Amino acid sequence: MATDVQDVLGARVKRVEDARFITGTGRFLDDISFPGLTHLAILRSPFAHANIRSIDTSAAKAMPGVVAVITGAEIPYNPLPMAWPAGGSSGIQNNVNTPRVLATDSVKWTGEGVAAVVAETAEQAVDALEAIHVDWEPLPTIVDTEKALEPGAPQLHENAPNNVVFEWTVGDRAGTERAIADAEVVVRQRLVNQRLIPNPMEVRGDIGRYDPGTDEYTLWFSSQTPHIQRLLVGIFTMGIPEHKLRCISPDVGGAFGTKIFCYPDYALVLYASKLLGGRPVKWVETRRENYVATIHGRDHVTFVEVAGKRDGEVTGLRVKTIANMGGRLSTIGPGIPTTLYGRVLSGCYRIPNVYAEVTGVYTNTAFVDAYRGAGRPEATYVIERAMDLFADEIGMDPAAVRRKNFLPPDAFPYDNPSGLLTAVNGSKIYIDSGNYEPALNKALTTAGYYELDKAKEEARRRGKLLGVGLSSYLEVCGVAPSKWIGAVGEGWGAAMWESANIKVHLTGKIVVTMGTQPQGQGHETTYTQIVAHELGVPMEDIVVQHSDTQGTPFGYGSYGSRTSNVGSTAAIKAAAKIREKAKRMAAHMLEAAPDDIEVEGAEYRVKGSPDRKKTLQEIAFALDLAFDTPEGMEPYLDETAYHDTPNCTFPFGTHVAIVEIDEATGEVELVRYVAVDDVGNKINPMIVEGQLHGGIVQGVGQALWEQAIYGEDGQLLSGSMLDYALPRASWLPNLELDETVTPSPVNPLGVKGVGEAGAIASTAAVSNAVVDALSPLGIRHLDMPYTADKVWRTIQSAKGGQA
Amino acid sequence: MIPAAFDYERPTTLDEAIRALGAGNDVKVLAGGQSLLPLLKLRLARVERLVDIGRVGELRGVTETGDGGFAIGALTTYAQLMGSPAARLGVLADVLPTIGDVQVRNLGTIGGSIAHADPASDMPAVLLALDATVVARGLNGERTIGIGEFFRGPFETALRDDEILTEIRIPALPAGSGSAYASIEQRASGYALVGVAAVTGRAGAQVGITGVGHAAYRASAVEEALGRGASIQQAAAHATDGIDVASDIHCDRDYRTAMTAVYVARALEAATGRAG
């Protein structure tokens, strides 16, 4: 048994969650019901910008089944909190406007909530919405990221002149100016990173229940961050302290970041339940609502300048980005295009001079916040497009340019000379490890990179333009040292440690309770593998629990590819405490000194006397009954550990995309995709591959198909899956995955995190491939997504034909 | 997404269904529900009453007419069509697997599709190229409508309010004919940005086009050019003659116009390649 157990870590173990997920017995938010449950529906603004003169709810109140109609004016709560201003407490001005639970005076985007109906059935609630009359005063709208800053643009907020949310800078301004002025070559390009709609499979929803007997609230919701929300919803929004609010995330069917945040509906269902004397109130958004009222991602306009020498050395990078934050700010919106973007722009390259300016703007669009990768895909897109533009300008192979500028393997730990990774309190994170060239070489070899000329000729004979693109990415994940990310540092108004509790019950069965919150990643499996390995017990004897603030230790939740670095290490620490106590108990039971006990798997033996041994199960039994324990030892095997990571982790790799473009129609087909990723050691390679597959496809989706389109009047034209193109399996080739393994020095497992890596890398690879395919026509850049009509028009223009 | 309230009837015979349809205003026929139900759920469409004809078994199935043609019951699903002898026709073999996904093809019906008359759905182009005839029955009895007269505009057909589409008749193709379907899909919805069905043979070519105009149409200018001896490329240049080409967020007029010519040529070439 013991040997098998030792093999669990790093094995392709099938996921323990999947029995319930694939048999339809998972328990998601909408599967939960209670006696007396009521249903809430939200009336959303049909205008992108308007004042609310008045709201007449009388007809709605008279509708069948309606038990309450709620407007913003009656809700005595604060506007939602904004937890991550740009620049933290560095003194940078953030002109903050966040949503209220329901809008009171005005709306700033189509879909902002203005009133709510609670009824006996969901059907009655939706019907009654149509009976609410709002007297609107429509206002001029602005949806364009750049035009929002122009003189004369419609203004959204009094405290945000010119629609500016913040102006943030990082890096060495003077040095970068000099590098550009002195450079042999400077390449400049405007890049648009278009707005995306994340589309988790399960939409958001919540149930609020107030207990009038105890004056306590319970919130069930599809959330990535139950513990943090107890603070954000409870204290900051409603003024309710932690011990009066319990937050529970049931099974969560995907999130991609969208379920990190504090949404207005959380406090709304709690308010409604209290209003109804404690009847539970459920709200589940429609897919349409998910499109207009759950956060969007990306939406940058960037001007990049890359300076260098004709031999391929890059000497400077200057970036100016305008980041669209939407009509009001989501919970950590400003943190994404600043800390998580501006500070990682130089990627895996040694660039001596880097400077970035980021301006956040308000527009009459849905709020923008973290979407899979959150800032790092945008940064990777900028640096990887810049590398290709520079290579093109000096006539050098893009792979050779990358190789020349990679941080060498002896550069680590690497402290970016521009201070990019230094927080305002002086605390730093270091790029702790890396070996970039082997991953690049492996990817090039697998893709047959240097033999593609023949393939290009062959494609040309079929009327196709073949192109190849590289993306050598650096991810910053495993977030984050509290000192760096905390209140006095990067400004996320909180720490970022994690927690784990392990209890070994009387029969030797183990309950592991975690502060992290899965959304489909298979945490229950990977934590079980870790604890099985650490304590030498079969996986079947372990269960992992999470996601309920009553009964799980505080944790900051799961996002930023942090669970395997921070959460797993907490679990290992808790297991070490269990082992240590079990060792002392075994010594007592075996009448030996604790130092004479050696542990192998679940066996605790006296050194030199292998027959004198106790199993963990026997020890747990004895400690639970506790009638014969060492002097001063507390009964029971129950240990909690907290872990604050000393550094982030830095996955890297090179992805290669090969595309073919139909010259007659502009249709782009991704024909091959090779990914060589270094995510360090793996707890479960099958789960790692699944994460990479999904991430790569989402990134490809941005490059080729996805875009949120707003009309000038602020209506979301790509407002459903009929108009917003999500990737489909049949559109993709087999993804060819390979690896290098450079264990992270940051944690005992040597793991780095993989939830976002695919999405961070793949967009730029596909983009570079499309531009490469079009380059024989003299095209040097094209903004995403590469829809057939756009590519066709580009080809026609390049050929001098009509367009 | 919850539709506004409506009355619901589920007759089991065609006569009952026609009576139910004629008995009120704002009554719609529900067949496979793959187009109508999403519209109702989004509240983009509202009805007072739905007449669900899903249990009217006499409307289901494909029969060979003996002369090489087919009579297809209006309630025949795409999946049933794929498994029927009609799928021997190249144009149907091409188009059916591209419609929706497995679930949609298991529920969606050919009659529902053409009665709904989405200007971008695939089936209208196919039936135009095959020169099909539509059979409809109402309170005043049965009549046949040539497919060329059937599509009047977006979501608008020659069916009267009290009529139910019962059957689609596909005539035999002349010996040696070939047929094919080629389309460029709107990536999100899977509907055609441009969809072209072509039948070619000694008797000339028949070309049906969807997704381009306000309704699917026969590209008679292309057919005539071919008849005059034009090459496929030359003829395809006439693909949108006289058509007010649609423009939307997915595809503007110029691109759609250019692609109609490209795909007419591709469909004609594929059909010709299959002609014997």
The pLDDT-based confidence of A487 (bands split at 50, 70, 90) is low
How would residue B150 be classed by pLDDT, with cut points 50, 70 and 90? Answer: very high
Taking the CA of residue B36 and the nearest CA in chain A, the distance in Å comes to: 14
- pLDDT value at residue B118: 96
- Closest by alpha carbon to A547, among A502, A510, A525, A516? A516
Question: Is pLDDT above 90 for B170?
Answer: yes
- Contact predicate A754/A692, CB 8 Å: yes
Nearest CA-CA distance, residue A730 and chain B, Å: 11
Q: Which among A288, A667, A726 is the nearest to B184, CB-wise?
A: A667
Q: For residues B160, B166, B172 and B173, what is the CA-based torsion angle, rounded to 10 degrees?
A: 60
In this structure, the number of other CB atoms found within 10 A of the CB of residue A756 comes to: 28
The H or E element spanning position A531 is helix A523-535
CB A372 within 8 A of CB A259: no
B187 touches chain A (CB under 8 A): yes
Interface contact B44, partner A, CB < 8 A = no
Contact B262 A665 (CB under 8 A): yes
Q: Do B250 and A726 touch (CB under 8 A)?
A: no
Tens digit of each residue's pLDDT (9 = 90 or more) over A13-39: 999 999 999 999 999 999 999 999 999
Return the biggest CA–CA distance within chain B. Answer: 57
A62 to chain B, any CB pair closer than 8 A? The answer is no
Contact B188 A724 (CB under 8 A): yes
pLDDT at A488 over 70: no
- Of A567, A597, A565, which is closest to residue A581 (Cα–Cα)? A597
**pLDDT the model gives residue A582:** 98
Name the residue in chain A with its Cα closest to that of B187: A725
Residue with tokens 């919970």: A331
A126 touches chain B (CB under 8 A): yes
Determine the 3-state secondary structure of A109 from DSSP: coil
- Chain A residues within an 8 Å CB radius of B252: 789
User: Which residues in chain A (711-770) have CB-CB distances under 8 A to chain B?
Assistant: 717-718, 720-726
Residues of A in contact with B4 (CB under 8 A): 127
Nearest C-alpha of chain A: how many angstroms from B235?
17
The nearest CA of chain B is from the CA of A388 a distance in Å of 28
End-to-end CA distance of chain A: 70
Mean pLDDT of A675-688: 97
pLDDT digits (tens, 9 = 90+) for A129-165: 999 999 999 999 999 999 999 999 999 999 999 999 9
CB atoms within 10 A of CB B102: 10
Q: How far apart are CA A208 and CA A726, in angstroms?
A: 32
In this predicted structure, the answer to whether residue A350 has a pLDDT above a threshold of 70 is yes
| Interface contacts (A, B; CB < 8 Å) | 51
User: Minimal Cα distance from B191: which residue of A?
Assistant: A722
Tens of pLDDT, residues A511-553:
999 999 999 999 999 999 999 999 999 999 999 999 999 989 9
Question: pLDDT at residue B160 above 50?
Answer: yes
> Length of chain A in residues, anyone?
803
Per-residue confidence (pLDDT) for residue A300, from 0 to 100: 98
* Rounded Cα gap, residues A365 and A388, in angstroms: 32
Is A722 close to B188, i.e. CB distance below 8 A?
A: yes
| DSSP annotation string for A340-387 | HHHTTTTTTB--SEEEEEEEEEE-SS--B---TTTTHHHHHHHHHHHH
- Is 0.90 surpassed by the pTM of this model? yes
8 Å CB contact between A133 and A55: yes
Work out the pLDDT band at A89, boundaries 50, 70, 90.
low
Q: How confident is the prediction for chain B on average, in pLDDT?
A: 96
Q: How confident is the model at residue A3 (pLDDT cuts 50, 70, 90)?
A: very low
pLDDT digits (tens, 9 = 90+) for B137-148: 999 999 999 999
User: Nearest by CB to B262, which of A127, A664, A720?
Assistant: A664
Nearest chain A residue to B1, by CA: A286
Q: Which of A499, A455, A304, A291 is nearest to A385 (CA)?
A: A304
pLDDT digits (tens, 9 = 90+) for A722-766: 999 999 999 999 999 999 999 999 999 999 999 999 999 999 999
Q: Does residue A678 surpass a pLDDT of 90?
A: yes
Q: A625 CB near a chain B CB, below 8 Å?
A: no
Which residues are paired to B180 by β-bridges? B198
Please judge whether B188 and A718 are an interchain contact, meaning their C-beta atoms are less than 8 angstroms apart: yes
pLDDT in tens, A379-422: 999 999 999 999 999 999 999 999 999 999 999 999 887 788 88
Task: Name residues whose C-beta falls within 8 Å of residue A100's C-beta, 6 or more positions apart in sequence.
Answer: A72, A75, A77, A79, A80, A264
pLDDT at position A2 over 60: no
Short-list B228, B231, B221, CA closest to B260? B221
Q: Closest-CA residue in chain A for B4?
A: A127
Q: Residues of B with CB below 8 A from A288's CB?
A: 1, 42
**Which chain B residues contact residue A725 at CB under 8 A?**
186-188
User: What confidence score (pLDDT) does residue A1 get?
Assistant: 36
Distance CA(B160)–CA(B140), nearest Å, equals 11
d(CA B57, CA B75): 8
Å between A225 CA and nearest CA of chain B: 27
Distance to chain B for A795, nearest Cα, Å? 12
- Choose among A68, A104, A34: nearest CA to A271: A68
pLDDT digits (tens, 9 = 90+) for A235-278: 999 999 999 999 999 999 999 999 999 999 999 999 999 999 99
Q: How confident is the model at residue A803 (pLDDT cuts 50, 70, 90)?
A: very low
Q: Rounded to the nearest 5 degrees, what angle is found at the Cα of A597, between the Cα atoms of A593 and A601? A: 160
A663 interfaces chain B, CB cutoff of 8 Å: no
A418-474 confidence digits (pLDDT tens): 788 888 778 888 999 999 999 999 999 999 999 999 999 999 999 999 999 999 999
The pLDDT of residue A4 is above 90: no
Nearest to A723 among B5, B188, B254 (CB): B188
Q: What is the distance in angstroms between the Cα of B1 and the nearest Cα belonging to chain A?
A: 6
Mean pLDDT of A635-653: 97
pLDDT value, residue B27: 94
Q: Provide the H-helix boundaries in A540-640.
A: 568-590, 616-625
B184–A803 CB contact, under 8 Å: no
What average pLDDT does the structure give for chain A? 95
pLDDT band at A184 (very low <50, low <70, confident <90, very high): very high
Q: Does the beta carbon of A120 lie under 8 angstroms from any beta carbon of chain B?
A: no
Report the chain A residue with the minimal C-alpha distance to residue B100.
Answer: A722
- Minimal C-alpha gap between A777 and chain B (Å): 19
Q: Is the Cβ pair B2, A123 closer than 8 Å?
A: yes
* Predicted local distance difference test score (pLDDT) of residue A6: 57
